[in-house]
């Protein structure tokens, strides 16, 4: 069904369909803070907007991801008084509408839904958020991300969203992925939409083959491709920028913050990054990840080994953001390519850098 919607023939119904998208967003705005792709100084970012005309509809990924909103940098867990935590009576979250979430980021969002399935704060944020996926198809044979994924017949049924908007030259096509999405579409006056039933992140045809291949490449590579990791360790500045922008990075640590009154304050959860040397420090000062090589390997291990092992879904969705922000041009797709080669065929350190574009 999906592929038929793309480029069947030139057509001229784009304008009224765009009106439909406005109708939908206007309706959703009544009860939600709208977060959408907006142009800023350094690129297009997901950020809050009231003005629908400012929204950028493009096939490009936003610089930041849903993570900034659904798993914010600092999250309040508890108030405390004296020696005891005060358990929240209920879990509240602002009503957000996240518009313009790409297929790649929806995949990362499905991962979060799995990882934080027991986290009532995340669940509350999720429940109060309406997620509107969006894909602009620029060419019929378009691929997404560094793993060159394509839109398949069953792509949408393995993604969690409320509404999905497919924007092709045959017009805008609406899909609902939840009762919440159905309601929003209907109430906004859009009758022509299709229901997609979420059947979980793993396809019936079996495990994602790119994931399986990358798992094999990374798993024992600290032994087999030691030199490569050491080269990367020498180059990486351990700045942690890649993990900040990565939509699948969710390492955290918890802290206490004191308030104004004596013996009161909050327990908060903050993003952490495994690139920082403190991450593995234990009493006495020993750090298990005591070299940058170990830390960068640990980062890959999380994405390509631990997550697939535990959840059978990829821990890297291939968005390429980490490549874009890395100050020393470490390119994850090139690293994976090198890990696929036998040790004797390893390229020199230069080839690990991203190609000049």
Partner 1 sequence: MKNPYYSHPAKILKIRKESPDSNLYTLQFKEAKIQKAFHFHPGQFVMAGIVGYGEGPFDICSSSMETTTFDLSIRKVGKITQKIHTLEVGDTISVRGPYGHGFPMTKLNQKNLLLLGGGCGFVTMRTVILDYIKQKPKGQKIQVFFGVRSEKDFLFRQEFATWSKHVDLHLIIAEAKEKKSRYHQGVITDLFDKVKLLDNLAVIACGPPIMYKFCLARLKDYPISDEDIYLSLERRMDCGTGVCQHCAIGPYYVCKDGPVFSYGKIKDIQGAI
Ligand X SMILES: Cc1cc2nc3c(=O)[nH]c(=O)nc-3n(C[C@H](O)[C@H](O)[C@H](O)COP(=O)(O)OP(=O)(O)OC[C@H]3O[C@@H](n4cnc5c(N)ncnc54)[C@H](O)[C@@H]3O)c2cc1C
Q: Which of 67, 320, 331, 338 binds ligand SF4 (CB under 6 A)?
A: 320
**Total number of residues that touch partner 1 (CB under 8 A):** 50
Question: Where is 131: in which H helix or E strand?
Answer: strand 129-136
Q: Which of 11, 13, 138, 328 binds ligand SF4 (CB under 6 A)?
A: 328
The verdict on 283 binding ligand X (CB under 6 A) reads yes
Q: Are strands 171-176 and 163-168 parallel, antiparallel or unpaired?
A: antiparallel
The verdict on 346 binding ligand SF4 (CB under 6 A) reads no
Q: How near is the Cβ of 325 to ligand SF4 at its closest, in Å?
A: 6
Q: Which does 80 bind (CB under 5 to 8 A by kind): ligand SF4, partner 1, ligand X, none?
A: partner 1
The verdict on 282 binding ligand X (CB under 6 A) reads yes
Of 67-75, 176-184, 233-241, 255-263, the segment contacting ligand SF4 by CB under 6 A is 233-241
Q: Which of 68, 160, 167, 272 binds partner 1 (CB under 8 A)?
A: 272
Q: In what order do the strands lie in the sheet with 84-86?
A: 84-86, 74-81, 264-271, 252-258
Query: Do residues 2 and 152 lie in contact, with contact meaning Cβ atoms separated by under 8 Å?
Result: yes
Q: How near is the Cβ of 278 to ligand X at its closest, in Å?
A: 9
Site string for ligand SF4, 262-281 (x = CB under 6 A): -------------x------
Q: With respect to ligand X, which residue has the nearer C-beta, 200 or 256?
A: 256
Q: Which does 118 bind (CB under 5 to 8 A by kind): partner 1, ligand SF4, ligand X, none?
A: partner 1
Tell me how far CA of residue 107 lies from CA of 66, 186, 210, 336, in angstroms: 11, 26, 14, 20
String of b and e for 136-165 (b: at least 16 CB within 10 Å)? Answer: bbeeeebebbbbebebeeebbbbbbbbbbb
Place of tokens 């849903």: 66
Q: How near is the Cβ of 285 to ligand X at its closest, in Å?
A: 8
Provide the H-helix boundaries in the chain. 14-29, 67-70, 103-115, 120-127, 179-187, 209-219, 221-224, 226-235, 241-245, 292-301, 307-311, 321-325, 332-339
Q: Which does 46 bind (CB under 5 to 8 A by kind): ligand SF4, ligand X, partner 1, none?
A: none
Q: Which of 46, 109, 319, 352 binds ligand SF4 (CB under 6 A)?
A: 319
């Amino acid at each position: 069904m999906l592929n038929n919607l793309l480029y069947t023939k030139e057509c001229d119904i784009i304008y009224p369909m765009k009106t439909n998208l406005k109708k939908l967003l206007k309706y959703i705005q009544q009860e939600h803070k709208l977060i959408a792709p907006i142009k800023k100084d350094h690129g297009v970012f997901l950020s809050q907007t009231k003005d629908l005309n400012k929204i950028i509809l493009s096939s490009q990924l936003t610089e930041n991801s849903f993570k900034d909103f659904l798993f914010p940098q600092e999250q309040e867990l508890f108030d405390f008084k004296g020696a005891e935590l005060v358990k929240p009576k209920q879990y509240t979250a602002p009503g957000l509408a996240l518009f313009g979430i790409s297929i790649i980021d929806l995949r990362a969002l499905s991962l979060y839904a799995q990882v934080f399935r027991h986290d009532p704060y995340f669940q509350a944020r999720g429940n109060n958020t309406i997620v509107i996926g969006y894909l602009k198809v620029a060419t019929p044979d378009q691929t997404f991300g560094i793993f060159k994924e394509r839109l398949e017949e069953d792509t949408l049924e393995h993604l969690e969203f409320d509404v999905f908007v497919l924007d092709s030259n045959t017009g805008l096509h609406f899909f609902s992925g939840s009762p919440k999405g159905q309601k929003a579409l209907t109430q906004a006056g859009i009758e022509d939409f299709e229901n997609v039933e979420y059947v979980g992140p793993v396809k019936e045809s079996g495990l994602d083959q790119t994931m399986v291949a990358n798992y094999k490449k990374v798993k024992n590579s600290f032994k087999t491709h030691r030199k490569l990791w050491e080269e990367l360790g020498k180059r990486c500045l351990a700045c942690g920028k890649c993990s900040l922008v990565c939509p699948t990075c969710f390492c955290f640590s918890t802290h206490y913050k004191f308030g104004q009154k004596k013996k009161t304050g909050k327990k908060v959860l903050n993003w952490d990054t495994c690139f920082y040397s403190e991450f593995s420090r234990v009493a006495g000062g020993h750090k298990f990840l005591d070299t940058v090589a170990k830390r960068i390997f640990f980062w890959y291990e999380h994405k390509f080994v631990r997550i697939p092992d535990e959840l059978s879904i990829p821990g890297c969705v291939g968005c390429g953001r980490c490549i874009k922000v890395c100050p020393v041009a470490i390119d994850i797709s090139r690293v994976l390519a090198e890990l696929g080669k036998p040790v004797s065929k390893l390229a020199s350190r230069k080839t690990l850098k991203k190609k000049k574009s």
